[in-house]
Chains A and B, each alone.
Chain A
C-alpha cells in the first residue's frame, strides 16, 4: 500500500494561482506570446472530399504586397517522417478529406496572409468521396485494439442463450452525434526557428509530447525543439495529440528563419483539422430476471475513423466494468471514411458509451416496473466483472442514495407523462457515471530549495483545470511545508518530462512524481535544506493495480421540462454526486464537475456536427450554428461528492475528476425527457422535432 500523505493543503479550496493573471489579461496565451515583428500564417484547404491536386497557381498570392512565402506540396520542405499521414503536411498531392491543409500563405499581417491564401488557385482531379457512417456498410472492420490499448471485443458466457432464457429483455439502438470539442481558445501557435532551435509557443495539453512528436516529424533532436505553454484556454482532448496546424506553423517558421510566425485556426478550420468525436451507433442488449438482476449485457458499437489514420474510440469499454452479469459481450467495428481524423474528446469511450448503456438501463427499469435507482443498486458489484479484481473503492450505490435524497427522488411518480405544470410536462431521470483511474508511465519532477522557498518543476499542463494550484497543494503536503512557501512551474519543456493532460490522469501521474521528488528531497536534505539543494524523481508504477481495479463513480439526477406546445426542452435542475477519492481542491473540483455536467447537457440537447455527405464537410462549422448550451439553458447545477478514502490509488488518495462529470449526464437528461413526455429519444441530440406531436 502507498504511504499516504497527511492532508493539510490538500482538500482545501485555495483560489487559482493564475486567476488574477487571467482575469486581468496578463497571462499570455500561445498566439499572444510577445515576440518582435511577427509574421502570420493562414492555411489553404482542399475544397474537394477526395482526389489529386493537379496544379497549384501561387502567382496571384505571391504578387500581393506583404507576402513572405507560399507553401504548397510542390515546394514545401520534405519532412523526415511521414508515417503519420495526419502530420505529413504538404507531403503529397493526394487529398484525403475536404478541408485538409494543402498549402499556406505567410505574410506581414494576418489579413494579407488570409487574402493570399484565398488567392491560391488549386485544380483537382476529383474522386468520389465517402463520408457516411452506417451500421449496414459491408466494409466495417475490427481494429486491433481500441483507444487506451483496450481489447476490441470481449466475450464471456453466452449472451444469446441469456437473452433466450431471460424474463425481461431490452434490445435497442442508440446513436450519438459527431461532436467538435470547440475550446474557446482556438488551436494556435507562435513558432520561431533560429540558431538551430525551433521554439513553439503552442496551445497544447502537453509540451513534452508535442516536442517529441514535432522532433520526429521534422527529423530534429528533441533538444532542438523548445515548447512553451503555460496557459490553455480549454482543450477537451483536441489539443492532446499533435495536429497538422502545429506542424504547419513549424514549417512556416522554418520557411522564414529568424522570424516568429503566428498561426491561429479560424473556428471553421477547427471543424476540419482539429479533431472531433466520432458519431456512434450502439446496439445495446440487456437480459434480466424479474427482480432486476442482469443476466446478460451486450454493447456492440459501430463508429468511424479516417482512411488516413485510425482512431478507434473505446465506446463499449466502460460497460465491461459497470454492472455484474454472467453473460457479457462488447465489440467495436469501424468504417474508414474520407474524413478528418477523429481524436480524444472529454471522456473518449465512457461519454458516448454510457449514453447507450444508461438509457437502456432506464428502459429496463420501465419494463420491470422498478425504480431506476434500485435497478442500479441491485446490479452493483464489488468485483470488476471485466478483470475479476476487487475495486479499490466503489461507491456507486452511495452516490445514488445520497443523490436520490438530495434531489428529492422519493416523491417521484414513476409513470411517464404523469406530471404537468401549466403548459410544461415535467420529468426526472437518473444515470450512473464511471471513469477509470489512470496513471501514465512517465513523468518526472524536480524539487529545489531556493531563496527560502520550495520550487517544484514539471513540464505539466493546466488546461484551465487548476494544475498551477493543485500541484502546489500536493507539493506542500509532500514536503510538510506551508502552501505559501511552495512555487510550482509547469508548461515548458525546460522542466522535466511530464505526460499529456489526458484521461484525467494529471494529478495521479504528475502529483505522484511531485510526491516522489518531495520525499526524496526530504530524505536527502532533511527539514532544513540549504539554498540550491535539488532532487529529481519520477512517478513509479502502482503495484496495487495488480490486485485492484480502480475507478471513480458517480450519479446524475436531472429534471427536464418540455413545452407541451412546441416540444422545447429545458433543464432547470441537475445534480451530480461523485465518489472520486480525495478531492484535492474543493473549489477547482466543483468547477470541473460542473463543467463536465454542462457539457453533458449540451451533448444531450444541442451539440451535433452536421456532415453534408454531398460535399464532405461539417456545414454548421461556427458557434452560431454548432449549438453549445448557452447560459440561459443552464439552470441550477448542484455538485456534490462523497468523502471517499482510497489508500490504493496514489499517495494523495485521489482519482481523476476532469472527465467523470460528463459521463452519464446525457443519459440522465434523456431519461428525464422520457419521464416527462413518454417519448424515448435514442438519437442525440434531443431536439424539439423529435418530441413534437
Chain B
C-alpha cells in the first residue's frame, strides 16, 4: 500500500480537468471497492478525488427535467441504501430497489454510491491477487481464470476457479463478470448515465456503459480516464418488474446468476418484456433475442423457456476447478423462466 493524497474539491469542472490530466489520480466514491484495491495493491494512485463532494446526493422527480412524468434522476453520490429505500423507487422501479437490496450488506450499501457501484470492478479472484497473472490488471500477462501456459492443472483441462465467471460474451483474454446487482436492475429500466468529461457532458445508455472484454479486458467501460459519472436517469416504465438473485448463500454473496425483468401483459399477450442477466457476462446482459421472441407471444412458461434458451444458444461454460461454471447455463434458463412465470402469475396489485 502506497501513500497517496486526498482531495475533496468543490468545483466539478476544475476537478474533472485535473483528474483527466493526471494519470495517477482517481475518483473516490464510498471507497468500498477502491480502498480494498489500494490495500491489495491492485491500483496505486497518488491522488484520490472525493466525488461525494462533487456530485449530487439527491433523487429528483423527472417531470420538467425532460424525463417524463414518473421518471427519476439519481445523483452519482446517492448511497445504495438511500436509493433502495426511496418510496418513489420502491413504487415505480421495484426491480431496482430489489436489486440494490440483494447486493452486499447493509453496512456496505450505506457507504456505496450510485456512481461507484456502476464502476466497481470484477470479483475475479485472480484479478484481486497481484501474484497471479491477469490481463485485466496487467494487460498481456495472461488470464489465470483460463488455462495458463506453463501451469498444468492435473485435475482438469487447466482453467482456474470460474464459479464467478462469464458464460456469455467472454473472450480468450478474459472471462470475468461485472458484479453489480444495481446495474442489472437499471439495465431493464433503459437507464441513462450522465457523464462529465474534460470536453463537457454526455449521456450514455446504461447498457452501453460496460464493454465486453474482447482483446482489451483492461477496459471495463467506454469511459475515458477523467470521465466523472454525475448521475443516472430513470425514464418512466410500464409493467411489473422483479429481481431475483441466485447465489451460494442467502445473503452477502455475489450472484451466480441474477435476473432483472419487466413484463407488461395485455390482452393475453406480452406487450413488452425486458430481461437482463447478471453474473453471466462482462456487463449486465440484456437478453434482447429472448425479448424479441416474446413480444406478442402468449405469456406461458413454455414460451419463456424457449425464448431464454434461444438467448443462451451462444452461452459457453468454462471447465474449471470445482466443476467449472457450465451449470450457469441451465441455471440461467431456469431462473429467467421462473421470474417471468411468477411475474405473469402475479395478477393482483397495481402494475409495478
Interface residues of A (CB under 8 A from B): 47, 111, 114-115, 118, 132, 423, 565-568, 570, 605-606, 608, 610, 612-615, 619-621, 624-625, 627, 629-633, 687-689, 692-693
Q: By the criterion CB–CB under 8 Å, are B129 and A619 in contact?
A: yes
Q: Is A565 touching B337 in the complex (CB atoms < 8 A)?
A: yes
Is residue B252 contacting chain A, with contact meaning CB distance below 8 A?
A: yes
CB distance from A629 to the nearest CB of B (A): 7
- Within the complex, the shortest CB–CB distance from B147 to chain A, in Å, comes to 9
A118-B41, A608-B322 are contacts. A615–B132 as well, Cβ < 8 Å?
Answer: yes
B200 on interface, CB distance cutoff 8 Å? no
A627 with B161, Cβ < 8 A, contacts A688-B248, A692-B327 known = no
Q: Which residues of A contact B322 (CB under 8 A)?
A: 608, 610
Interchain CA distance A615-B327 in the complex, whole Å: 25
Residues of chain B contacted by A566 (CB below 8 angstroms): 246, 331, 334-335, 338
Across the interface, name the chain B residue whose C-beta is closest to A46.
B131
A2-B155 Cα distance, complex, nearest whole Å: 55
Q: Given A620-B161, A688-B331, A689-B331: A615 and B248 within 8 A (CB)?
A: no
In the bound assembly, the distance between CA atoms of A615 and B133 in angstroms comes to: 10
Interface positions of B from 85 to 129, Cβ below 8 Å from A? 123, 125-126, 129
A390 vs B322: C-alpha distance in the bound complex, in angstroms?
A: 44
Q: Are B154 and A613 interface neighbours, CB within 8 A?
A: yes
Q: Given A610-B161, A633-B249, A111–B256 Cβ distance below 8 Å?
A: no
- Evaluate contact between A615 and B151: CB separation under 8 angstroms: yes
Complex contacts, A565 vs chain B, CB 8 Å: 334-335, 337-338
How far apart are the CA atoms of A693 and B155 in the complex, in Å? 25
Indicate whether B43 reaches chain A with its CB closer than 8 angstroms: no
Asked if A613 and B155 sit within 8 Å, CB to CB, the answer is yes
Given contacts A689-B323, A692-B331, contact A627 B3 (CB under 8 A): no
The listed residue (B125, B132, B256, B334) touching A625 by CB distance below 8 A is B125
B249 near A132: Cβ-Cβ < 8 Å: no
Q: How many residues of B contact A (CB 8 A)?
A: 42
Give the A-binding residues of B (Cβ under 8 A): 1-3, 39, 41, 123, 125-126, 129, 131-132, 144, 148, 151-155, 158, 160-161, 164, 246-254, 256, 321-323, 327, 330-331, 334-335, 337-338
Separation in Å of the B34 CB from the closest CB of chain A?
Answer: 15
Task: Decide: B251 and A630 in contact? CB cutoff 8 A.
Answer: yes
Distance A570 CA – B246 CA, assembled complex (angstroms): 12
Given contacts A613-B154, A614-B151, A625-B125, contact A689 B327 (CB under 8 A): yes
Task: Report the number of A-B residue pairs with Cβ-Cβ less than 8 Å.
Answer: 99
Cβ-neighbour of B248 out of A627, A631, A692 (below 8 A): A627
Nearest 5 Cβ contacts at the A-B interface = A632-B250, A689-B327, A632-B251, A614-B151, A565-B338
A688 and B129 CA atoms in complex are apart in Å by 27
Please measure, in the bound complex, the distance between the C-alpha atom of A20 and the C-alpha atom of B155, giving whole angstroms.
Answer: 51
**In the assembled complex, which residues on chain A have CB atoms less than 8 Å from the CB atom of B330?**
692-693
Contact A692 B321 (CB under 8 A): no
With the chains together, A114 CA to B256 CA distance in Å? 33
Please, which residues of chain B bring their CB within 8 A of the CB of A111? Answer: 1, 3
Residue among B164, B249, B334 with the most chain A CB within 10 A?
A: B249
Beyond known contacts A613-B153, A615-B131, A633-B251: 16 more, CB 8 A cutoff:
A111-B1, A114-B1, A423-B338, A606-B248, A610-B161, A610-B322, A615-B132, A615-B144, A620-B125, A621-B125, A625-B123, A630-B249, A630-B252, A632-B249, A689-B327, A692-B330
Given A613-B155, A692-B331: A633 touches B250 (CB 8 Å cut-off): yes
For A688, the chain B residues whose CB sits under 8 A away are 246, 248, 256, 327, 331
- B58: shortest Cβ distance to chain A, in Å? 31
Residues in A neighbouring B251, C-beta threshold 8 A:
630-633
Quick one: given A566-B338, A624-B123, are A115 and B1 in contact (CB under 8 Å)?
yes
A620 to B153 Cα, complex, angstroms? 17
Alpha-carbon separation in the docked complex, A132 to B155 (Å): 8
Task: Give the shortest distance, in Å, between A286 (CB) and chain B (any CB).
Answer: 28
Is there contact, CB below 8 Å, between A612 and B253? no
Known pairs A132-B154, A570-B250, A632-B251; A612 contacts B321 (CB<8 A): yes
Q: List 12 A-B contacts (CB under 8 A).
A: A565-B337, A612-B153, A612-B160, A614-B158, A619-B125, A619-B126, A619-B132, A624-B123, A627-B249, A631-B251, A632-B250, A689-B327
Docked pose: A693 CA to B338 CA in angstroms: 14
